[in-house]
Amino acid sequence: MTQEHPHFPVRHSILDQDALAAWLRACYRLSGPVRCQFLRRSMSDAYRVEAGDRSYVLKVYMHGRHPREAIEAEIDFLNDLIGHDVSVVAPIANGDGAYVNEMNAPEGTRYAVLFDAVTGEEPQEVNLAHSRAFGQLAGRLHTCADALGRSYARWQLDERYLIEAPLSYIRPYLQHRPADLQYLYALGEEWIAELRRRLSRERPQYGMCHGDLHTGNARFDREGRLTLYDFDSCGYGWRAIDVGVYRVTYDWMDLGEETRREKARFWEAFVEGYDGERTLSSDELAVAQLCLPIRHLELMGITIRYWASHAGIHWITDEYFDQHMAWFRRWADEYGMP
């Protein structure tokens, strides 16, 4: 008796770039020949699109990461910000006037959105003029988000997202090291208590945030205008954590004194720019410092959750945890709570 070959489910597919080029030609009013090239894989797949003399980026969202209504809310938020002269990436409507497209992928429905390409010079934290400009743009985004006076169907970037969920993703891979797991949970409890003690969940301290506010997600154009993009993680959270991402991303694994001084230097310039739009309270400034270990834990959780399914678990080793646990213990000894 011959057994039929089973149809195995797929976790993550990469859509063919030539097929996407043909689809783009059919669905969008693009001028000239359309060329589509696979650019990178991350929380979503990005494709570089050239059409005539214009450049775009097609983002194909990961299956299951966001429901359609959340992606539509991201687009609504971007369009609202653009309408109030906040410099963020522009989504492009298709021929039917819609922004979000459904794609039938092997793993299930995926969503695709075309954006204008954001090109130019990546801001450098150590350039104080760049840091001031980034701070000003971040402050303008937060202030405008509150002034818009509407709600968006986006997730909460709260203590569950930042701390509790990452710990739950790490836990299965650290069960054989209970002392380390207990240590991380104890740190998490301290951070949650500090967030709740210092910050409210009301505007302006809590509201729509970018969610991944670092220099890799912004560019200066030829006229010197800074534009922010990649709002895949946007949602409702503490603004102190949002701006804290900018503070800590620079050499984030380096806890040395020289890097600490350098961060303090450009952070002062960032806050100067931000305060021109909205003033951070003393408690918010303290929490921005606490963002260093919180962001570290968040990134560990994200990589374990998503990259384990993308690229396998070969990199989740004892050596990996040795490195990161040493980092947390050094942070606790040398930095501690603000």
**To 10 degrees, the CA torsion angle through 130, 262, 192, 215?**
30
**E-strand spans in the chain?**
34-41, 44-51, 54-61, 91-92, 101-105, 108-116, 156-157, 206-209, 218-220, 226-228, 235-238
Half-sphere exposure (Cβ direction) of 250: Cα atoms closer than 13 Å: 22
Q: Of 51, 83, 116, which closes a domain?
A: 116
Which residues lie below 8 Å from residue 228, measured CB to CB, with a gap of 6+? Answer: 87, 88, 89, 137, 141, 210, 213, 217, 218
| Separation of CA 124 from chain center | 18
User: 108 pairs with which residues across the strands?
Assistant: 105
**Residue 208 in domain:** yes
Residues 46 and 195 placed together within one structural domain of the fold? no
Domain extent for 202: 128-334
CA–CA gap between residue 24 and residue 34 (Å, rounded):
8
CA–CA gap between residue 290 and residue 252 (Å, rounded):
13
**Residue 123 in domain:** no
Which of helix, strand or coil describes residue 120?
coil
Give CA separation, 221 vs 82, 120, 227, 291, in Å.
16, 5, 8, 29
Q: What is the CATH number of the domain that holds 46?
A: 3.30.200.20
Q: What is the CATH number of the domain that holds 238?
A: 3.90.1200.10
CA–CA gap between residue 169 and residue 163 (Å, rounded):
10
pLDDT at position 3 is 59
**Of 94, 71, 97, 240, residue with least CA distance to 158:** 240
Residues 143 and 270 placed together within one structural domain of the fold? yes
| CA Rg value for the chain | 21
pLDDT at position 290 is 94
Burial class (CB in 10 A: 0-12, 13-18, 19+), 330: exposed
Q: What is the pLDDT of residues 210-266, one digit of tens each?
A: 999 999 999 999 899 999 999 999 999 999 999 999 999 999 899 999 999 999 999
Residues 192 and 296 placed together within one structural domain of the fold? yes
Mean pLDDT confidence for 56-70: 96
* Number of compact structural domains in the chain: 2
pLDDT, mean over the chain? 95
pLDDT at position 2 is 52
pLDDT at position 1 is 46
Residues 149 and 254 placed together within one structural domain of the fold? yes
Residues 290 and 158 placed together within one structural domain of the fold? yes
Residues 31 and 159 placed together within one structural domain of the fold? no
Query: What confidence category does residue 5 fall into, taking pLDDT thresholds of 50, 70 and 90?
Result: low
Mean pLDDT confidence for 102-114: 96
Q: Of 93-97, 133-137, 300-304, 311-315, where does mean pLDDT reach its minimum?
A: 311-315
Residues 42 and 158 placed together within one structural domain of the fold? no
Asked whether the predicted pLDDT for residue 7 surpasses 90, the reply is no
Residues 174 and 60 placed together within one structural domain of the fold? no
CA–CA gap between residue 242 and residue 135 (Å, rounded):
11
Query: What confidence category does residue 311 fall into, taking pLDDT thresholds of 50, 70 and 90?
Result: confident
pLDDT at position 6 is 67
Q: What is the pLDDT of residues 163-195, one digit of tens each?
A: 999 999 999 999 999 999 999 999 999 999 999
